[in-house]
Copies of this chain bind each other. A is one copy, B any other.
Amino acid sequence: MQRLHEELDKLARFSSSEYPSVTRVLYTQNDLEARQYFISLCEDLNLKVRIDPIGNTYARWEGAEPKLAAIGTGSHIDAIPLSGQYDGTVGVFGALEAIRYLKSINFKPKRSIELVLFTAEEPTRFAIGCLGSRMMSGQLKLEQALKLKDKEGNFLNDVRIEAGFKGDLNEVELSKDYYHAFIELHIEQGPRLEKEGLDIGIVSKIAAPSTLRVNLIGEGGHAGAVLMPIRKDAGIAGAEIMIAVERIAKKSNSDDTVGTTGIFDILPRAVNSIPKEAYLEIDLRDTNIETRDKALSDLKQEIAEICEKRNIKYSIEILNCDPPAICDSQLVNTIEKVTNSLGYSSKIMASHAYHDSLFMAQLFPTTMIFIPSKDGVSHRPDEYSSPEQIEKGVKTLALTLKEIDG
């Protein structure tokens, strides 16, 4: 599989940050060039490429009975700022390698096998994750999608057309009978497989994410002249909210609850000026929807209390609040059988991270194949899975596709 590793390394160079860090934001030049590279490899394999109006890219290996629902696999290649080279990409280029492998053993599929490159799994540009799969599954309606703007105020619909993706956005949505099954290969992005020395994780459920935007408005003023008792510092209120996010996630009854404030901006952002405004983006998730929703409502209440105490005006916008996905138990069993036959160790586990499969699972029997992440790290330049680990993931995926077809 030397070729796959060379392809992943080449892909990592389509980046607006310095190698080995990767920054590949939706519809930027690097994103478009990386897509073109992917398409050229698909064409080398004689896959039939179709691109939908939002840029989701389908590469089809036609089966002997093309009228049957296809078997889907795939992931994403966009990357948040200063991240690594395996998140998403292993599920796209690894699936290509799985198809190569199946062709090399002369397998002829009955159902078509279709590889999907999803548009913008990461929320970097439009503050909403899984843009492509959300629209494919009908979870993001057209009227909402048309309202999406990036930080510069550009509408999604304008930038996708500028990037060369044309056509009626209504055509992005898939029908429930489009895929017979969907399997995503992905790095774990956590430490559990590595810690237990396992080769493969088989995903039984995917955490339910929710994202909040919080705007705080207090009163600015001169950092020297406005004495402490009369201040309405929006920055400190934001700091208290950050700490509340952590406390709520930690005190939840579930070990799986995670809460993160990944964005916190203050204005006017001058050392001698009291923060007048603050802006936070908060990510809260759990594999259990009740626990997640309890954490969300606790957080909303704490935000209200902090802002009341500090005389800060606030607004909360829920950017998304998706249900968790339960994976298809038959597919989970199939993968377990495949790993046993290959002599790979495996465990059935939850995915804490959020994937396009979350949305595929709304329509199709779905599951995911995880491979270990070194030190459990992801979204960082030192994100790493070894060639051997990736190879085991690719073989598991290949034989699972074959098994499902058979």
**Which A residues form the contact surface with B (CB < 8 A)?**
80-83, 87, 122-124, 127, 129, 188-191, 207, 209, 211, 219-230, 233, 235-236, 238-240, 242-243, 246, 249-250, 255-264, 266-276, 281-283, 285, 351-354, 373, 376-380
Contacts and interface: CB of A to CB of B under 8 A. Distances in A.
Contact of A227 (B83, B243, B256, B271): B256
A235 B221 contact: no
The list of the 6 closest CB pairs from A to B, nearest first, reads A189-B225, A224-B353, A239-B239, A223-B260, A190-B225, A239-B242
20 contacts: A123-B270, A127-B271, A129-B272, A190-B225, A190-B226, A223-B258, A223-B285, A224-B285, A224-B353, A226-B258, A227-B352, A228-B259, A233-B260, A240-B243, A264-B266, A270-B379, A271-B283, A272-B354, A272-B379, A274-B379
Given A129-B272, A236-B242, A270-B379, A283 B223 contact: yes
A81 B242 contact: no
Contact of A273 (B223, B224, B268, B379): B379
A377 B221 contact: yes
Contacts of A191: 226, 230
Nearest to A82: B268
A249 B272 contact: no
A18 to B, nearest CB: 14
Contacts of A270: 80-81, 122-124, 262-263, 379
Contact of A224 (B80, B207, B233, B236): B207
B81 A224 contact: no
A283 B276 contact: no
A258 B275 CA distance: 14
Contact of A272 (B80, B271, B376, B377): B80
A227 B252 CA distance: 12
A231 to B, nearest CB: 8
A259 B272 CA distance: 10
Greatest chain B CB density within 10 A among A207, A272, A281, A354 is at A272
B272 A228 contact: no
A63 B62 CA distance: 96
Contact of A228 (B82, B124, B249, B376): B249
Nearest to A213: B271
B235 A264 contact: yes
Contact of A190 (B124, B188, B227): B227
A351 B269 CA distance: 23
Contacts of A268: 80-83, 379
Contacts of A285: 223-224
A83 to B, nearest CB: 7
Nearest to A207: B224
Contacts of A207: 224
